Amino acid sequence: MNFAKAILDCGALPEKVALLTQQGDVTYGELHQQAQQVCADLRSRGLKSGDRVLLASDSSPFWVASYLGVALAGGVSVPMAVPANPVFFADVVQATEPRFAFVQPKWVRRLGSLINGIEHVITKVDTAADNGTFEEKMANDLAAIMFTSGSTATPRGVMVSHGNILSNSADIIASLDVGPDDRIMAVLPFHYCFGTSLLHTH
């Protein structure tokens, strides 16, 4: 199953708050709508299953909607820290060859030439309704390439499947007995695997 579809179809009421952020609260209904719109936009631009999609953004509703929408569309997210180390950023772009990038507007100018070669750079997530249907991904399909922190060596890209994310999330939810009324403060950024894991489970 597609991990993003599992998260968005978790059974929460559309009006229930999914994210409490400095930019404002986002309900499950709004998040579902935004992620579906990202998915539809990517497909209209020609995204093919397995295409790499760079994410360069603060932890924000923009990041979450982009991340989930990329997964719904069959793309492979490549989350990056911002502000970025220019050499490392360039190395990641060269290694992953992204066709698309979701870049928060405030980072576009600072990234400059580092994103010039990417075919589609998207800076806005629309909120228009979309009633399209979205294909399921199989559990062994690649969902993301998460880069390690590089504390002991050069950061390495770890290939994570939809099945990996679903299995890891289910284990955490079960071991911590996470329920629908639990909240977690996500201090770690979403581009980091621990921060992303908190998003998946909560």
Distance CA 106, CA 121 (A): 13
- 131: pLDDT confidence band, cut at 50, 70 and 90? very low
- 137: pLDDT confidence band, cut at 50, 70 and 90? low
User: Which residues, 6 or more positions from 143, have their beta carbon under 8 angstroms from its beta carbon?
Assistant: 3, 71, 76, 77, 137, 160, 161, 162, 164, 165
Mean pLDDT, the chain, rounded, equals: 91
pLDDT, mean of residues 177-192: 93
- Find out whether the peptide bond into 79 is cis, omega within 30 degrees of 0: no
**Is-contact 195 64, C-beta < 8 A?**
no
Instruction: State residue 153's pLDDT score.
Output: 76
Q: Which helix (H) or strand (E) holds 101?
A: strand 100-103
- 133: pLDDT confidence band, cut at 50, 70 and 90? very low
- 182: pLDDT confidence band, cut at 50, 70 and 90? very high
- 136: pLDDT confidence band, cut at 50, 70 and 90? low
pTM over 0.75: yes
User: Which residues, 6 or more positions from 111, have their beta carbon under 8 angstroms from its beta carbon?
Assistant: 56, 82, 84, 89, 103
pLDDT (tens digit per residue) in 29-45:
999 999 999 999 999 99
pLDDT (tens digit per residue) in 149-162:
777 778 889 999 99
Q: Which domains are seen in the chain, by residue range?
A: 3-201 (3.40.50.12780)
- 177: pLDDT confidence band, cut at 50, 70 and 90? very high
- State what percent of residues in the chain have pLDDT above 70: 95
Q: Is the pLDDT of residue 115 over 90?
A: yes
CB 10: neighbour CB atoms within 10 A?
11
CA 21 to the chain's CA centroid: 16
pLDDT (tens digit per residue) in 53-104:
999 999 999 999 999 999 999 999 999 999 989 999 999 999 999 999 999 9
Q: Which is higher by pLDDT, 129 or 46?
A: 46
